[in-house]
Structure 1
Amino acid sequence: MSYAPQKRHSNRAKRWIITIGVFIVVQIIFIAIDGTFLEPSINDSDNVLAKTVRGVLESKLLTERIAPYSFPFFNLFLIVHVVAILIQALGDSISAIFAKR
């Protein structure tokens, strides 16, 4: 008898529960903060990195197309988080397909 597949399955399920839990908690925090005085302020200095980030945050993608929040940083964070979850899902799918049986 081998217990490795069950342990592997258990770890994967635990990792997914944590990932989805963190995603939901972050979204609840964003919903609570969005449109209030608690929104963080972004530095508008003459720094090249700050200008680049400001350009990304003011892009049409984050202000019009994917805009569940009024604060663009939350929209950017949502996109990054969803992409990370999709990459993890793809990796888990590939490892499940090619795992030794």
Structure 2
Amino acid sequence: MTDRQKKGRFKRLKWWISSLSIFVVFMIVFFIVDGTIFEPNLNDSDNVAGKAADWLEETELFNVWFTPFNFPWFNLVTLLYIVFLLVSAIVDTFSLKRDKQN
């Protein structure tokens, strides 16, 4: 194994540890804040991103299938981060296979 491959694996491992640590911290904060008076009061007046997020959180996905939290924005952020991690895992898997072939 070359030095370059070792550095690449170390960087990848470091990135995964930091990404999963951030995810765990956000989940702990979301569980603490959810169901309390500390939930954010979001005012989406004429905000395109806010309206899109409101439309997303009113879908069946966030009302029936994926509801770990009472506050719908927490559900949205959690799902987006999970999708981000899954896509990153797929990309890393293919890059590892490519590196082993070379």
TM-score if structure 1 supplies the norm length? 0.89
Cα 1:10–1:64 change in 2 (3 A) is: same
Q: Which residue of 2 aligns with 1:90?
A: 90
Comparing both structures, which one devotes a greater share of its residues to helix? 2
Determine the C-alpha separation between the residues in 2 that align with 1:95 and 1:52: 34
Structure 2, unmatched stretches of 5+, are: none
Percentage identity across paired residues of the two chains: 32
Determine the C-alpha separation between the residues in 1 that align with 2:12 and 2:44: 42
Amino acid at match of 1:76: L
Cα 1:7–1:52 change in 2 (3 A) is: closer
Determine the C-alpha separation between the residues in 2 that align with 1:44 and 1:2: 52
Q: Which residue of 2 aligns with 1:59?
A: 59
Q: Structure 1 segments of 4 or more deviating over 3 A?
A: none
Cα 1:48–1:23 change in 2 (3 A) is: closer
Deviation at 1:44, TM superposition (A): 4.6
SS in 1 for 2:42: coil
> How big is the alpha-carbon RMSD for the aligned residues of Structure 1 and Structure 2?
1.6
Q: Are 1:31 and 2:31 matched, yes or no?
A: yes
Q: Are 1:7 and 2:17 matched, yes or no?
A: no
Q: Are 1:18 and 2:24 matched, yes or no?
A: no
Deviation at 1:66, TM superposition (A): 0.1
Deviation at 1:52, TM superposition (A): 3.0
Deviation at 1:81, TM superposition (A): 0.2
Determine the C-alpha separation between the residues in 2 that align with 1:4 and 1:52: 43
Deviations 1:42-87 (A, max 9, x none): 2152x26233322212222112210000000000001100000001
Structure 1, unmatched stretches of 5+, are: none
Determine the C-alpha separation between the residues in 1 that align with 2:20 and 2:56: 26
Amino acid at match of 2:94: I
Deviation at 1:26, TM superposition (A): 0.5
Aligned length in residues: 100
